[in-house]
Amino acid sequence: MIEVENLHKAFDGEEVLKGIDFTFEKSKTNLIIGQSGSGKSVLLKCLLGLFTPEKGVIKYDGKPYTEFTEDEKKDLSKQIGMVFQGGALFDSMTVEENVLFPLRMFTKKKKKENLERVKEVLKRVNLDGSEKKMPSEISGGMQKRVSIARAIVNRPKYLFCDEPNSGLDPKTATVIDNLIQEITHEYDITTIIITHDMNSVLEIGEKIAFLKDGVLVWKGDKSQIFQTDDEAVTDFVYSSNLFQKVREAQQKEL
Amino acid sequence: MNYLHSIGEYFLMLKGTFHRMTKGSVLRGLILKELDDLIIGSMGIVSFLSFFIGAVVALQTALNLNNPLIPKSLVAYAARQSIILEFAPTFISIIMAGKVGSYITSSIGSMNVTEQIDALEVMGINSLNYLIFPKIIAMLFYPFVIAISMFLGILGAYTAAVMGGFVPPDIFVQGLQEDFIPFHLVYAFIKTFLFAFILATVPAYHGYYMKGGALEVGQASTTSFVWTSVVIIITNYAVTQLLLS
């Protein structure tokens, strides 16, 4: 579980996050949604420790990050898995080497044991048989799956995903969404996903935080998002033609 | 002010490079890879250029010595001095700024724009140490490249002068040995070590701190070549002033 209390972050005097309060729950897919420039990525980078907030507290399993010793911070980074928007696979390494990388860096196990774990994880993301391929030789969807495999290979406690299905066709995007949700439940981890894809929200939004201009304006889950009267949320949700037409059809029926 | 900021950032980068070392077994593999890419991969072009530039230096000297009072051994003497003192360490380093420097900037720059550096940081790895330290260690072998360049440059000069019929072989060898000052070799290798460090770190700085996309990676490579050359030329002047004057 990750708790965020009164989080503020500014760049060159301009406040990007304005007092965010939210709890990212364990064994749930927690979504941060909002328009571009709303502060989603900045919030994620604060949670990852890449940005230092000006004010506020981030607690990992109840303990504030500021109270972590250097060794604890190091341990925490080993418990974090991250799926980047573009995959961020090391392009000089094969699929297998990419997934093996965190194990090589942080475990003292023998190579054989590590390779077995890599095989197991690649099988979990349906990529067995692609071990020796280079990232440039596989599709965008497969790259995302390799990225997920690399993120979970070290059995993390927290999984962060930055727009994991951007640039993918709707079918592959759904596969990736479902895979992340399954892994979240299976590994009992706290998953935080940044997205502005309403399909993902409907598919896996077990807990949702909606940001607008650096302010948390709404929180809830996928079943509540269509019932809210909050103008900012409805603007965002119905900005898609598809959802707008569904709403019009529903209103006609009524 | 921007220049001062960049210089400060460069030294902070160096400080970060020698902190929080990467796991030894991983580092070993990275150093071997960099040795292959930066040192072994440069041998071909360095050998080719050294041999032919050495040959041209000898030819030019021979063709411009019309006075019968000037001994023919001067061709070998001039070739030796120009190759050992400037051509091999400095001229080859400028070429390496184009070859190795661009490679370092573009490889680190590409990792930067594709979030691979962020991925390393999120995993708790010191990306500066992981990316730059192996390059610095690999470039410690750069003096071997320069030694080979010196040898091939003089061999090229010998081939052109002797095969071209300008200087008899024994006179050429005699010219090579005339007034030889061993400290000139020490001077050449001291500056080679400094150039090696510059070649590894200045392009790395331009790749690591670049912002933007693919177009900016190309621009960073060009800027990196220009600045690496400038720093090499200034260092060359300072070292020559300190050690030889």
* DSSP secondary structure string for all residues of A7-40: EEEEETTEEEEEEEEEEE-TTSEEEEEE-TTSSH
Distance CA A125, CA A83 (A): 13
Tell me which residues of chain A have a pLDDT lower than 70.
240, 242-243, 247, 250-251, 254
Measuring CA to CA, how many Å separate B89 from each of A44, A121, B59, B133, B167? 48, 50, 21, 22, 26
- pLDDT tops 70 at residue B88: yes
Q: Kindly state whether residue B12 falls inside one of the protein's structural domains.
A: no
- Please report the pLDDT score of residue A227 as a whole number: 77
- Please report the pLDDT score of residue B85 as a whole number: 94
- Mean predicted confidence (pLDDT) in B66-95: 92
Q: Kindly state whether residue B43 falls inside one of the protein's structural domains.
A: yes
- Residues of chain A contacting B121 with CB distance shorter than 8 Å: 50
Q: Do B110 and A91 touch (CB under 8 A)?
A: yes
- For residue A191, what are its two tokens? 């998953």
Q: Kindly state whether residue B243 falls inside one of the protein's structural domains.
A: no
- Please report the pLDDT score of residue B12 as a whole number: 95
* Distance in Å, alpha carbon of A151 to nearest chain B alpha carbon: 9
Q: Kindly state whether residue B244 falls inside one of the protein's structural domains.
A: no
- Please report the pLDDT score of residue B231 as a whole number: 96
Question: What residue in B sits closest to A45 (Cα-Cα)?
Answer: B122
- Please report the pLDDT score of residue A170 as a whole number: 81
The model's pLDDT over A75-124, given as tens digits with 9 standing for 90+, comes to: 888 889 998 888 889 988 999 999 999 998 888 888 889 999 999 889 88
- Please report the pLDDT score of residue A250 as a whole number: 67
Q: Kindly state whether residue B182 falls inside one of the protein's structural domains.
A: yes
- Please report the pLDDT score of residue A126 as a whole number: 83
Distance CA B140, CA B35 (A): 9
Domains belonging to chain A, first-starting first, are 2-229 (3.40.50.300)
Q: Kindly state whether residue B217 falls inside one of the protein's structural domains.
A: yes
Q: Kindly state whether residue B162 falls inside one of the protein's structural domains.
A: yes
- Residues of chain B contacting A90 with CB distance shorter than 8 Å: 111, 116, 119
- Please report the pLDDT score of residue A130 as a whole number: 85
B126-129: long-range pairs with CB below 8 Å, 24+ = B126/B16, B126/B19, B126/B20, B126/B21, B126/B22, B127/B208, B128/B13, B128/B16, B128/B17, B128/B19, B128/B208, B129/B16, B129/B17, B129/B18, B129/B19, B129/B20, B129/B21, B129/B22
* Distance in Å, alpha carbon of A111 to nearest chain B alpha carbon: 12
The model's pLDDT over B96-141, given as tens digits with 9 standing for 90+, comes to: 999 999 999 999 999 999 989 989 988 888 999 999 999 999 999 9
Question: What residue in A sits closest to B110 (Cα-Cα)?
Answer: A91
Nearest CB among A80, A85, A88 relative to B116 is that of A88
Q: Is the distance from CB of B100 to CB of B42 less than 8 angstroms?
A: yes
Q: Kindly state whether residue B207 falls inside one of the protein's structural domains.
A: yes
Q: Do A88 and B115 touch (CB under 8 A)?
A: yes
- Please report the pLDDT score of residue A247 as a whole number: 67
Question: What residue in A sits closest to B22 (Cα-Cα)?
Answer: A105
Q: Which domain holds residue B185?
A: 23-238
* Distance in Å, alpha carbon of A226 to nearest chain B alpha carbon: 34
- Please report the pLDDT score of residue A254 as a whole number: 63
- For residue B100, what are its two tokens? 């190795």
- Please report the pLDDT score of residue B34 as a whole number: 95
Nearest CB among A77, A84, A91 relative to B118 is that of A84
Distance CA A35, CA A157 (A): 28
* Distance in Å, alpha carbon of A254 to nearest chain B alpha carbon: 49
Give chain B's domain count. 1
Closest CA to B57 of B83, B29, B94: B83
The model's pLDDT over B151-162, given as tens digits with 9 standing for 90+, comes to: 999 999 999 999
CB contact residues (below 8 A), chain A span 87-146, against chain B: 88-91, 101-102, 104-106
